């Protein structure tokens, strides 16, 4: 039995690591579309087609449930895929939901009208494509009113992380936080809207200051997935776990080992 976890590259490994710790008995099939990474600089149609192809591949491998552990794919492709209809017995879910649940302190099944919440100003750090989609603001507006969101497109951060250049990645984060603070000097909260960013959560926190609540996705997604599978145990699938990539398996495996500090072996998708 395996749940599929999809990302354009290695960022989703932060989600995988968290859900494996939360659900140690569960098998996961991780799919990295490394040949086409990063998605954050692609247009919406390109992201949709690439995401759709990868998800369909995971479905064909027995993963009835696929998690888009990629904010860019969740922003640009998820709603369109769901509206187009998915095969019977299959599901595809994104990673915005757990963030918004945590930020607004309400469950996703709560369909009452939007209401005021404690957080009034939110800094959103994400890829250029996620920012351009305005998907986070749209979903938040269904649940809360009176929240001012200032988005900062963090160009170059994902590329630096994927290349293993954490010094450059940290410098870019500090630069992007400074750019955000020029527009919103004192946010109540910050959303790390990319699954690569938890690797730099402390850098974001230090640059923002201790008074800013920083929301990172990995643990929130893990909790949400555990609750979902508890309600839908039939969605655990019958496929095998493992690691797949559309890129060079050796190179991706080496990067993944640096990423999670443990050996991971990818096979060609």
Kindly list the averaged pLDDT for each block of 10 residues, start to end, along the chain of length 269: 92 94 93 95 95 97 95 94 94 89 78 90 96 92 94 95 93 98 97 93 98 91 88 83 97 90 94
Residues 6+ apart with CB under 8 A from 124: 131, 136, 137, 149, 150, 151, 152, 190, 191, 193
Question: pLDDT value at position 108?
Answer: 58
Query: Can you tell me whether residue 242 is helix, strand or coil?
Result: strand
Q: What is the pLDDT of residue 109?
A: 64
In this prediction, residue 239 carries a pLDDT of: 76
- Half-sphere exposure (CA, 13 Å, Cβ side) for 252? 26
Kindly report, as residue ranges, where domains of CATH 3.40.50.1860 are found in the chain.
2-94+218-268, 97-216
CATH number for the domain formed by residue range(s) 97-216: 3.40.50.1860
63 is catalytic: no
- Contact between 81 and 55 (Cβ < 8 Å): yes
Task: Write down the catalytic residue from 92, 172, 194, 269.
Answer: 194
The total number of residues written for the chain in this structure: 269
pLDDT of residue 244: 98
CATH architecture of the region 2-94+218-268: 3-Layer(aba) Sandwich (3.40)
User: Is the peptide bond preceding residue 253 cis, with omega within 30 degrees of 0?
Assistant: no
pTM: 0.91
Active site residue 70: yes
Catalytic residue among 70, 189, 212, 269: 70
In terms of Cβ atoms closer than 10 Å to its own Cβ (0-12, 13-18, 19+), residue 111 is exposed
In the chain, the N- to C-terminal Cα span, in Å, equals 19
What backbone phi and psi angles, to 5 degrees, belong to 28? -130, 140
């Amino acid at each position: 039995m395996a749940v599929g976890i999809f990302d354009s590259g290695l960022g989703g490994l932060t989600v995988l690591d968290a859900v494996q710790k939360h659900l140690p008995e569960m098998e996961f099939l991780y799919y990295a579309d490394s040949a086409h990474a990063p998605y954050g600089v692609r247009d919406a149609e390109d992201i949709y087609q690439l995401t759709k192809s990868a998800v369909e591949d995971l479905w064909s491998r027995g993963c009835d449930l696929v998690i888009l552990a990629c904010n860019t794919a969740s922003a640009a492709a998820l709603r369109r895929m769901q509206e187009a209809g998915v095969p019977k017995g299959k599901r595809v879910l994104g990673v915005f939901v757990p963030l918004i649940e945590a930020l607004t302190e309400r469950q996703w099944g709560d369909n009452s009208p939007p209401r005021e919440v404690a957080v009034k100003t939110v800094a959103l750090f994400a890829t250029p494509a996620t920012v351009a989609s305005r998907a986070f603001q749209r979903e938040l507006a269904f649940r809360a009113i009176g929240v001012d969101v200032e988005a900062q497109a963090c160009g170059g951060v994902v590329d630096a992380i994927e290349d293993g250049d954490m010094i450059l990645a940290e410098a870019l984060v500090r630069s992007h936080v400074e750019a955000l603070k020029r527009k919103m000097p004192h946010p109540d909260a910050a959303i790390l809207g990319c699954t690569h960013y938890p690797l730099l959560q402390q850098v974001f926190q230090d640059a923002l200051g201790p008074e800013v609540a920083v929301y990172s996705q990995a643990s929130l997604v893990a909790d949400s997935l555990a609750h979902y599978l508890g309600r839908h145990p039939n969605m655990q699938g019958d496929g095998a776990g493992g690691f797949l990539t559309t890129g060079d398996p050796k190179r991706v495996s080496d990067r993944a080992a640096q990423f999670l500090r443990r050996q991971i072996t990818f096979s060609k998708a």
